[in-house]
C-alpha cells in the first residue's frame, strides 16, 4: 500500500482536521464535484474524498443538501452498512469529505448488468439495507432518498472459519464488510452494500415529522407526494421498491412522464407479473406488500421488516453459511 502512495507523493495533499490525505485517481463525478481515491500515510489506509465545488450550488435546496450531508453523517454512530465520514475540510470554495472507500459501482449498476438478481442474493442485500435504515431511524434520521444509485458496493463480508475438522464451515460477519482479509478467513462470494448520499436526509428526533417533496420519482412514498407531514416510514416504502427492482429488473410504478409515475405511486397498485415473479417465494411477496403499503400506519418499521420471516430465516447479518 505504502509504495502506491509514495509513487503519488507529488500528488495533491489535503490537510484534514485529524489527518492528511494524498489524492490518487479520480473514481467518480457527481453534479457538484468529484470523488478521488486518497491515502492516509498515518493510518496506512485508503479512503474516498468527495470534493464539492460550492460555486456549482446555485439554488438554496442544493446548498441545504451540502450542509445536511456532513452534519447528519457525522452525527450518526458508525454502522457497517452506512458510509462513514472520517474527516471533513471546509473552505470558501469547496467542502471535502473523507469517506469510506467503496467500489466505484452502485447497486443500480449491478442490477443493470445482471438484469435481475436471484432471491437469496436479494435477501442478503435487503438484510443489510434494512439494518442500515433501522440504525438511521434509531437515531431519529430519515434518509428520504433510498434508491439503488445511493447504495454503494463493497467487497463481500468475510466468512470466518469456525472449526478445523476439515469441513468448510463459516459464519458471515457483516461487521467486517469491506475490510481486508486475514489468512484464516475467506472472502464472502457476494458484494456488501453501504447506504450513502445523505443530502436529502433530515433529523426528525423521536416521532417527528418531515415536510416537502424530496426523493426520486419511482422510489418516493405516496404520503410525500400528498403534501403535509410524513415520518420515517417513507424509507420503508423506498426500500420495498428497491427490493422489487432487484427481483424484477424494473420499477413497480411506472409512467411516460414524472406526473404519470407520481399518479401510479399514489394509486399504489402493486402487481407481481407471473413472468418475473412466478419463481419468487410467497414470503418475499408478503414482505413487499407490507413495505409497499399505501397506509404508512400499517407499513412495517425497519425493525419489523428485519424480523419478517423472509429476512430473518436466511439473509440477515450473523447468518450461518455452510458449504
Ligand atoms: N465512497 C465512495 N467510494 C467509492 N466510490 C464512490 C464513493 N462515493 C461516490 N463514489 C463514486 O462516485 C460517483 C459519484 O458520486 P457522487 O456522490 O458525487 O455523485 P452522485 O450521487 O452519483 O450524483 P449527485 O451528487 O449529482 O446526485 C458514484 O456513482 C460512485 O461511482
107 CA distance to ligand 1 centroid (A)? 12
Based on the residue annotation, tell me whether 145 is a catalytic residue of this protein. yes
Binding site membership of 52 for ligand 1 (Cβ less than 6 Å)? no
Q: Whose CA is closest to atom 19 on ligand 1?
A: 30
Look at residue 6 in the predicted model and tell me its pLDDT: 47
Which of the two residues, 317 and 45, has the higher pLDDT score? 45
**3 state DSSP class of 276:** helix
Q: What is the mean pLDDT of the chain?
A: 84
Q: Could you give the angle at which helices 119-138 and 282-291 cross, rounded to 10 degrees?
A: 30
Report the range of poorest mean pLDDT among 113-127, 165-179, 244-258, 309-323. Answer: 165-179
Q: Tell which atom from ligand 1 comes closest to the C-alpha of 50.
A: 18
Which range in 57-61, 91-95, 184-188, 302-306 is most confidently predicted, on average pLDDT? 302-306
Look at residue 314 in the predicted model and tell me its pLDDT: 61
Give per-residue pLDDT as tens, 225-259: 998 899 999 999 999 999 999 999 999 999 999 99
DSSP structure class, residue 184: T
Reported pTM: 0.85
Q: Is 151 exposed, middle or buried (0-12, 13-18, 19+ CB in 10 A)?
A: buried
151 CA distance to ligand 1 centroid (A)? 10
Q: Whose CA is closest to atom 6 on ligand 1?
A: 104
Q: Which phi and psi (to 5°) does residue 134 adopt?
A: -60, -40
Region of 185 (left: φ > 0; alpha: ψ -120 to 50; beta: rest) is beta
Look at residue 283 in the predicted model and tell me its pLDDT: 95
Q: Tell which atom from ligand 1 comes closest to the C-alpha of 101.
A: 3
Which of the two residues, 7 and 91, has the higher pLDDT score? 91
Q: Tell which atom from ligand 1 comes closest to the C-alpha of 194.
A: 1
Of 145, 173, 197, 235, the catalytic one is: 145
Binding site membership of 223 for ligand 1 (Cβ less than 6 Å)? no
Kindly give the pairing relationship between strand 45-53 and strand 85-90.
Answer: unpaired
Distances (CA, A) of 53 to 34, 35, 119, 197, 304: 8, 11, 40, 16, 40
Residues across the chain? 323
**11 contacts 22 by C-beta, under 8 angstroms:** yes
Binding site membership of 101 for ligand 1 (Cβ less than 6 Å)? yes
Longest dimension (CA), the chain: 63
pLDDT at 52 over 90: no
Which of the two residues, 235 and 103, has the higher pLDDT score? 235
**3 state DSSP class of 201:** coil
CA distance 204 to 210: 7
Label residue 315 by pLDDT band (50, 70, 90).
very low
Give per-residue pLDDT as tens, 181-201: 454 444 455 789 999 999 899
Amino acid at each position: 500500500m505504502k509504495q502506491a502512495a509514495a509513487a503519488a507523493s507529488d500528488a495533491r495533499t489535503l490537510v484534514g482536521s485529524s489527518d492528511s490525505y494524498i489524492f490518487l485517481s479520480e473514481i467518480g463525478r457527481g453534479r457538484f464535484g468529484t470523488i478521488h481515491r486518497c491515502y492516509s500515510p498515518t493510518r496506512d489506509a485508503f479512503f474516498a474524498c468527495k470534493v464539492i465545488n460550492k460555486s456549482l450550488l446555485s439554488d438554496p435546496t442544493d446548498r441545504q443538501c451540502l450542509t445536511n450531508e456532513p452534519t447528519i453523517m457525522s452525527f450518526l454512530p458508525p454502522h457497517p452498512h452506512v458510509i462513514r465520514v472520517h474527516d471533513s475540510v471546509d473552505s470558501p470554495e469547496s467542502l471535502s469529505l473523507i469517506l469510506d472507500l467503496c467500489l466505484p459501482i452502485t447497486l443500480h449498476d449491478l442490477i443493470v448488468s445482471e438484469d435481475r438478481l436471484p432471491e437469496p442474493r436479494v435477501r442478503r442485500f435487503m438484510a443489510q439495507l434494512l439494518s442500515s435504515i433501522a440504525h438511521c431511524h434509531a437515531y431519529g434520521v430519515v434518509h428520504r432518498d433510498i434508491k439503488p444509485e445511493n447504495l454503494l458496493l463493497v467487497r463481500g463480508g468475510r466468512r470466518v472459519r469456525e472449526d478445523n475438522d476439515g469441513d468448510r464451515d463459516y459464519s458471515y460477519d457483516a461487521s467486517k464488510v469491506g475490510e481486508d482479509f486475514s489468512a484464516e478467513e475467506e472472502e464472502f462470494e457476494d458484494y456488501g452494500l453501504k447506504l450513502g448520499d445523505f443530502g436529502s436526509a433530515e433529523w426528525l428526533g423521536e416521532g417527528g415529522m418531515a415536510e416537502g417533496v424530496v426523493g426520486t420519482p419511482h422510489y418516493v412514498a405516496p404520503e410525500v407526494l400528498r403534501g403535509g407531514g410524513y415520518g420515517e416510514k417513507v424509507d420503508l416504502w423506498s426500500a420495498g421498491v428497491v427490493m422489487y427492482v432487484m427481483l424484477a429488473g424494473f420499477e413497480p410504478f411506472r409512467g411516460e412522464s414524472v406526473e404519470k409515475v407520481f399518479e401510479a405511486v399514489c394509486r399504489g397498485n402493486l402487481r407481481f407479473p407471473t413472468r418475473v415473479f412466478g419463481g419468487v417465494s410467497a414470503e418475499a411477496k408478503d414482505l413487499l406488500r407490507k413495505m409497499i403499503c399505501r397506509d404508512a400506519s400499517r407499513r412495517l418499521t425497519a425493525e419489523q421488516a428485519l424480523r419478517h420471516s423472509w429476512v430473518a430465516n436466511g439473509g440477515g447479518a450473523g447468518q450461518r453459511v455452510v458449504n
